[in-house]
Structure 1
């Protein structure tokens, strides 16, 4: 890859200290966006017919929390890739294959993500919310544990791909003329998805070791709730290290 010219860099817009080198959508980004749009359509609440009375509408609405959780998970992955594309605009072979792998994994794990969200909602609400999919399908605690393991491996794979994309950007830091703050943002993004992958791995281990214990199976799913604490803490830690190294205040 050739080094970006100073004229090109100066012509790019800057967003919160990050140069937007890839504002013009590439074929890779267009393909990824289309695939994620398709993934979202696969998440839409499936119905055989339009509800004809309030009871049917309320029954259908029980699946809304699971849909929202699934959409947030897939949406966060898409936002990460979209921001990465805008900031770096890479179109090398590594970007091509990593983006293709990301799309394939997302499409493969759409339904496991939805099932995982439905299981979480059912357990958390005491069966007050969610559909009867697990009852009708004859799922037991062992099979739910398998679902958590399946989902965990998928999330680990997705996290690894996103980390690899940012590491690829760091590989071209000279050619892209990355600023010190942009290098920090790359490392911070890697830390974020490493934390996600670590929690997913712990969930997999818990579900695998205690697959026949309902309490621990539920705990394997609830481990993901720790991300609401761990992610802000990891971001705070990253900012503190950056501030200490650059003698600046934490934003």
Structure 2
């Protein structure tokens, strides 16, 4: 291994440690107990009521973090593009965490009929829903879009060095699906009239059920490039 390759390996490792640490810090912002430790059983039960929202938020953050882990498996070197895109992913993640927790705490509060606690309160009615779904969808799309660009970079780097880049191109298409869904959800929230019936404000949220389209996208890609 050349000195340059060793240097690149060290730089890549430092970047990965920074990204991992940043995502770990982001998870601490989702602490179900907030800033204080419960000092009574009543407060303890109230705090535990935030577990469902915390679990879903945890899963979403882990989903994007694991995307970066998979990218590193396909792009071992340290490149300026990979470095800046990784930092951009962390930047968007630190924005995403706030609407993320508000959305899921609100959802579980609504599903439980108010039994589970929520930090989100609809003071402004539909206008608040529009703002929340727009912020959530846009930050979601930005994170997925950044991962799409990371895998695009990995595919170009592999092709440049004469390696097979099918896996990177597959991942690029996978992440383009949540990126597109996030954008469509955002546009839907912004275009819905404030006078629309209350149930219509669930449409931007239900659009994320379209993530099942990742399966058909991958299947089509595999059929097309089976012999690649």
What TM-score do the two structures reach when normalised by structure 2? 0.85
Answer yes or no: is the 8 Å Cα contact 1:142–1:211 preserved in 2.
no
Identify which of 92, 96, 100 aligns with 1:105: 92
Report the CA distance between 1:79 and its aligned residue: 0.6
Answer yes or no: is the 8 Å Cα contact 1:159–1:197 preserved in 2.
yes
Report the CA distance between 1:149 and its aligned residue: 0.5
Is 1:169 matched up with 2:154? yes
- From the superposition, tell whether residues 132 and 28 of structure 1 become closer, same or farther in structure 2 (CA, over 3 Å): closer
| SS in structure 1 of the partner of residue 77 of structure 2 | coil
Question: After TM superposition, what 4+ stretches of structure 1 lie above 6 angstroms from structure 2?
Answer: 21-24
Answer yes or no: is the 8 Å Cα contact 2:155–2:166 preserved in 1.
no
Is 1:239 matched up with 2:225? no
Residues in 1 aligned to 2:74 and 2:172: alpha-carbon distance in whole angstroms: 15
Identify which of 108, 120, 130 aligns with 1:134: 120
CA shift digits 1:19-72 (9 cap, x unpaired)? xx979961111111111110111111115332522x433322221111111111
Number of the residue aligned with 1:17: none
5+ residue gaps in structure 2?
A: none
- From the superposition, tell whether residues 23 and 218 of structure 1 become closer, same or farther in structure 2 (CA, over 3 Å): farther
Higher RCO by CA contacts (8 Å cutoff, separation 6 or greater) = 1
Number of the residue aligned with 1:226: 210
What TM-score do the two structures reach when normalised by structure 1? 0.78
- From the superposition, tell whether residues 73 and 96 of structure 1 become closer, same or farther in structure 2 (CA, over 3 Å): same
Residues in 2 aligned to 1:174 and 1:202: alpha-carbon distance in whole angstroms: 32
- From the superposition, tell whether residues 22 and 225 of structure 1 become closer, same or farther in structure 2 (CA, over 3 Å): farther
5+ residue gaps in structure 1?
A: 9-20
Work out the number of aligned pairs and report it. Answer: 221
- After TM superposition, the structure 1 = structure 2 runs for residues 89-104 of structure 1, keeping only pairs within 5 Å, are 89-104=76-91
| SS in structure 1 of the partner of residue 29 of structure 2 | helix
